Amino acid sequence: MINNLRVFLCLFISILLFGCGSKSSPTTSAAPTSGGVANSCLNAPAGGNISLSNPPTGLNVLPVVLNGQNYSNEPTVTIKFCNPGTNTCVSVSNILVDTGSYGLRVFGSTLSALTLPQINSPSGNSLAECAQFGIGSTWGPIKSADVILGTEAAVTIPIQIIDASFGTRPTACANSDTTPSTAGYNGILGVGLFKEDCGPACVAPNPAPSLYYSCIGAACSVSNAPLASQVVNPVGRLATDNNGVILELPSIPTCGAQTVTGALTLGIGTRANNTPAAVTFFQTNNLGEFTTTFNGQAYTSSFIDSGTNVLFFPRNNSLPSCTQRVGGQDISTFDCPLNTVTLSATQISGATQKTISFQVNNAYNMFLSPNYNFNDIAANLATTFDWGLPFFYGRKVFVGIDGTASSLGTGPYWAY
Amino acid sequence: MRIINILITTFILSSSSSFAYLNEHTSGKRSIMRKTQYKQVQIIEKVDDDGVIRKVSWKGMHHPELNTLLGPCYSYYQDYMKQSTRLRLRGAISIDKDGCHISIGGHMRNVTGEVSLDK
């Protein structure tokens, strides 16, 4: 009812102002073409529930669900956790699939039926971590667990138990996730390009970054962490299927879909269901980044991240921000073009180049629609091009883990 | 004849156990860019001709302590982090409010940020 009222008000105001999304139409210096869909996504119909037409099957496949239960464009899977070496297990759903991080993290509150052994710091105390993402952080101890992905054999690995009450949270984690409901997930499955979340940078004698901590009671201090104790990408520890993953999502309509089902397939070229065909290979640098050129600028630290829920790129005055509020909240970071805007950017790795065409629609109108998942939602970020979840719709994206080989090449790489 | 003032910007590179913050008044050189290595984060501070740090950017394994570094802009960042789960952007943020311009993003192992304050 409230949504209907908002749509009506928006339509009414749009008649007065020639647009619900902004005060002026966008100047599209970055847009070689702009579409003619007036009032982009205003009164968008329900986009339905969309699945892959030919989903992969096998013990190395995890269904990926985007149901908008918590927020838009959130790909989630279910993972089984067990006490090491036992059949005492719990399945935890709503775990975010994140190609922009490395390692498995889960709220301790979801594992209350388990007793997982604590991993110690080099000084013999409890090892904890303030894991940091592009935005946001998770705090809690590192414990050992048996983890089952799909129906693969269990792997025993260090995972982070997200627990804001553990020890004393360092300042760097002052705004860390505290509960599944405020975080919007029960955990994070970091299946990006690297095996460990920190890697050699956290190993002595390197100066310890503010990531791992050694805790005695409530007192925690920055610590090194050997590779064997670091939180790891569980895929890298599988007996087979350990050289990467494929994240595949179906195409969805302009202005969104209600729910989407895709697949996370473990391994690249290790089985019939993960054999690459006709893909473009992008080697990354040692940070997992490549160059994207957009609007005449080269962004050398761009990356592909399923954990980012929009396309982030520098607006450079080419797109208007949203001026409305939703539920009293400022949404001005989002782009709100009056009409559908078609843009393009080029991904570059060595001699390989691929130009990606994409659309941006009015985020405010999309928030008012009955849909939760969008391939055309974007937001402003001055510093780089972050190819978020919308990039994955209609694509089969291969994520090659650093130092592992497949028929495509040696990681770190992306291919699609 | 039009007089052109040329601002000579110099880089000073140092390693530090602490870092300056946005809007801090400095007593050292003015109109410079200071590059500091703080733990495994590279921080660049732009000191204006009035001796005030107007812009700070960083890149590295983790974010610096934002409550210090963002100075008077920190409250906008905190407000943003309190937004509802449904509307909060994931992956990065960009805030332009009352002269504060904040962009924070990146990915694990290489997080980045840039904050500036209008004069």
A135 to chain B, any CB pair closer than 8 A? The answer is yes
Residue A96's closest chain B neighbor by CA?
A: B90
Residue A269, min C-alpha distance to chain B (Å):
26
Q: What pLDDT is attached to residue A25? A: 30
Q: What pLDDT is attached to residue A21? A: 30
pTM above 0.95, yes or no: no
What's the whole-number mean pLDDT along residues B70-91? 89
DSSP 8-state assignment for residue A26: P
Are B108 and A131 an interchain contact pair (Cβ–Cβ within 8 Å)?
Answer: yes
CB pairs below 8 Å between A and B: how many? 154
Of A329, A234, A348, A231, residue with least CA distance to A291 = A348
Question: Is the peptide bond between A205 and the residue preceding it cis, with omega within 30 degrees of 0?
Answer: yes
The amino acid occupying position A411 is G
B98 to chain A, any CB pair closer than 8 A? The answer is no
CB atoms within 10 A of CB A295: 17
Task: Kindly give the residue spans of alpha helices, DSSP state H, lying in A159-300.
Answer: 180-183
Q: What pLDDT is attached to residue A3? A: 41
Are A134 and B111 an interchain contact pair (Cβ–Cβ within 8 Å)?
Answer: yes
Q: What pLDDT is attached to residue B18? A: 63
Residue A169 vs residues A40, A139, A222, A260, B104: alpha-carbon distances, Å: 44, 7, 11, 36, 21
Residue B74's closest chain A neighbor by CA?
A: A175
Distance CA A289, CA B107 (A): 10
B37 to chain A, any CB pair closer than 8 A? The answer is no
| Mean pLDDT lowest among A349-353, A374-378, B85-89, B90-94 | B85-89
Identify from A74, A99, A132 which residue to disrupt to test chain B contact, counting B C-beta atoms within 10 A and taking the largest count: A132
Assigned token pair, A307: 């954990």
Distance CA A414, CA A399 (A): 5
Of A189, A244, A283, A291, residue with least CA distance to A396 = A244
Confidence of residue B23 (pLDDT cuts 50, 70, 90): confident
Are B90 and A308 an interchain contact pair (Cβ–Cβ within 8 Å)?
Answer: yes
Run of H or E including A9: helix A2-17
B18 to chain A, any CB pair closer than 8 A? The answer is no
Distance CA A358, CA A395 (A): 13
DSSP 8-state assignment for residue A208: P
Contact A413/A397 with Cβ under 8 angstroms? no
Confidence of residue B16 (pLDDT cuts 50, 70, 90): low
A239 to chain B, any CB pair closer than 8 A? The answer is no
Q: Which of A134, A207, A329 sits opposite B107 (nearest CB)?
A: A134
Task: Transcribe B88-104 into DSSP letters.
Answer: --SS-EEEEETTEEEEE
B108 to chain A, any CB pair closer than 8 A? The answer is yes
Residue A272, min C-alpha distance to chain B (Å):
31
Q: What pLDDT is attached to residue B14? A: 53
Residue A198, min C-alpha distance to chain B (Å):
6
A14 to chain B, any CB pair closer than 8 A? The answer is no
Tokens 């984060």 appear where? B41
Confidence of residue B19 (pLDDT cuts 50, 70, 90): low
Q: Walk along chain A (416 residues) and give the pLDDT tens digit of each residue.
A: 334 434 333 333 333 332 333 323 322 333 333 344 456 898 888 999 999 999 999 999 999 999 999 999 999 999 999 999 999 999 999 999 999 999 999 999 999 999 999 999 999 999 999 999 999 999 999 999 999 999 999 999 999 999 999 999 999 999 899 999 999 999 999 999 999 999 999 999 999 999 999 999 999 999 999 999 999 999 999 999 999 999 999 999 999 999 999 999 999 999 999 999 999 999 999 999 999 999 999 999 999 999 999 999 998 878 999 999 998 888 999 999 999 999 999 999 999 999 999 999 999 999 999 999 999 999 999 999 999 999 999 999 999 999 999 999 999 999 99
CB atoms within 10 A of CB A258: 18
H helices then E strands: how many in chain B? 2, 7
Tokens 């109109």 appear where? B31
Those residues with Cβ within 8 angstroms of residue A132's Cβ, 6 or more apart along the chain or in another chain? A172, A211, B61, B62, B63, B108, B111
Those residues with Cβ within 8 angstroms of residue A154's Cβ, 6 or more apart along the chain or in another chain? A82, A146, A147, A148
Q: Virtual CA dihedral for A160, A166, A172, A177, nearest 10 degrees?
A: 70
Higher pLDDT, B88 or A342: A342
Distance CA A260, CA A53 (A): 12
* Residue positions counted in chain B: 119
Q: Which of A184, A211, A383 sits opposite B105 (nearest CB)?
A: A383
Which of chain B's residues have a Cβ under 8 Å away from the Cβ of A289?
A: 110
Are A70 and B84 an interchain contact pair (Cβ–Cβ within 8 Å)?
Answer: no
Distance CA B79, CA A203 (A): 35
**B44 has a pLDDT exceeding 50:** yes
A205 to chain B, any CB pair closer than 8 A? The answer is no
Q: What pLDDT is attached to residue A131? A: 98
Assigned token pair, B42: 């590279």
Of A173, A140, A146, A176, residue with least CA distance to A158 = A146
Q: Which of B63, B94, B111 sits opposite A382 (nearest CB)?
A: B94
Run of H or E including A342: strand A341-349
Task: Transcribe A12-49 into DSSP letters.
Answer: HHHHHHT-SS-SSPPP-TT-SEE---SSTTTTPPP--E
What's the whole-number mean pLDDT along residues B112-118? 95
Q: Which of A134, A199, A201 sits opposite B105 (nearest CB)?
A: A134
